[in-house]
Amino acid sequence: MLGVITLEDIRPIAIGAGILGTGGGGNPYLGSLHLAAIIREKGPHPLLDPLTLADDALICVAGNIGAPTVSIEKLPEGTEMYRALRLLEEHIDRKFDAIAIAEIGGANSMQPVIAGLQAGIPTIDTDSMGRAFPEIQMSSFLFGSSATVAPFAMVDAANNAVVIPTSVDDKWSEKIARNIAVSMGARAGLVSTIMSGKQVKEAGIHYVMTLAHHLGHQVLEAQEQKSDVPQVVADVLDGKVLFRGKIADVNRRTTKGFARGSILIKSFAGIDKLEIEFQNEFLIAYLNGKVVVTVPDLICMVTEDTGEPVTTELLRYGTRVCVIAVPAPEQLKTNIALDVVGPGAFGYDIEFTPLPGGKIGLMPKT
């Protein structure tokens, strides 16, 4: 397990988390620049093994909320998540012992580490998705659990801050938070889902930071050896290369706090086509009109030559890409979970057919 995050770890984490983010989670390059600056200032950051948490430890979940398309135009002030954490501590009149990652995807894998460094508390090597999802109720910490999103705190790049003490349910927390995020410029730091260490151990998708780090290292090594990097990514994640081709069309818009749209990829021979629809993250893929992968399984896009992640805000006509289908962690494939993160939760009248296998949530073999 990756026990501490140093400057040397940032590059592989950014690559691995960018791939696991299935197009969302925020720009990993910008996130890595921010994390590097904080580590230079404060030193390496401890990463806790989730299974060593005390049962009565007090944990919060941290992440950004908004549209990834905004993140490359509206840079953070840098302390939004830290200020939200302190605001929520003030609300409950108790300090947090550690921070859990909301989603391993993209920059959102690194922002909780930044908040932990700023607050002087460790980050746990666990998240609630094993990927990225667009809405905050889509969390393994909440599936069949007594944990709730509220109370939660949100802070923007200026001096705007809010605490929502309670909500009817987690979907309403998402609606409230999304509307506030739009008012804050479609980007804010969010700290929520207060839990015990016992709850984190039972419900978290563990060792995701270690997995991102391992995946990134494998990509960098494959680049040096001039290997088939996308195939290496598929092998590390127990997935399969689904399609190789060139982006032929991008339909993307930022609306109601999300980046929504679709992408068309044509094979290099020009015979086959892959269409992908997204809401921050890639949700469903059609190969020549037939559904081949849906959420919660991961649709990961990388550049054909280097295997670097391609996120929704950086989709460009003409880019040569490879699309990889990856099995979701087991926590996302239960009946309770599928009601929240399956195809039906996104409006698709399609039955989820899981990909076989899966390594997300397991300690990677190095």
Find out whether 167 and 149 touch, Cβ atoms under 8 Å: yes
Q: How far apart are CA 78 and CA 35, in angstroms?
A: 10
CA 104 to chain centre: 4
What residues of the chain score a pLDDT lower than 70?
69, 71-72, 366
DSSP 107: G
CA atoms 155, 282, 212, 104: torsion sign: positive
By the 10 Å C-beta count (0-12 exposed, 13-18 middle, 19+ buried), 363 is classed as middle
Q: Alpha helices, DSSP H only, in the chain?
A: 7-20, 28-42, 68-71, 80-92, 111-119, 170-183, 197-203, 208-224, 229-236, 335-341
Let me know if residue 356 belongs to a domain. Answer: no
Q: Is 195 found in the same domain as 139?
A: yes
**pLDDT in the model for residue 252:** 86
Which two structure tokens, joined as six digits, stand for 197?
A: 């260490």
**pLDDT in the model for residue 260:** 86
Let me know if residue 22 belongs to a domain. Answer: yes
Which two structure tokens, joined as six digits, stand for 217?
A: 């290292």
Q: Is 177 found in the same domain as 36?
A: yes
**pLDDT in the model for residue 312:** 87
Q: For position 295, which CATH number holds? A: 2.40.390.10
**pLDDT in the model for residue 254:** 79
- Binning the chain into helix, strand and coil, the percentages to the nearest 5 are 35, 30, 40
**pLDDT in the model for residue 366:** 63
Q: Is 158 found in the same domain as 297?
A: no
Q: Is 200 found in the same domain as 282?
A: no
Let me know if residue 116 belongs to a domain. Answer: yes
What's the domain range around 138?
4-206
Q: How far apart are CA 84 and CA 216, in angstroms?
A: 30
pTM, two decimal places: 0.96
**pLDDT in the model for residue 364:** 86
Q: Is 164 found in the same domain as 236?
A: no
Q: Is 316 found in the same domain as 177?
A: no
> Tens digit of pLDDT for each residue in 232-276?
999 999 999 999 999 999 998 877 777 789 999 999 998 999 999
Q: Is 292 found in the same domain as 153?
A: no
Provide the number of structural domains found in the chain. Answer: 2
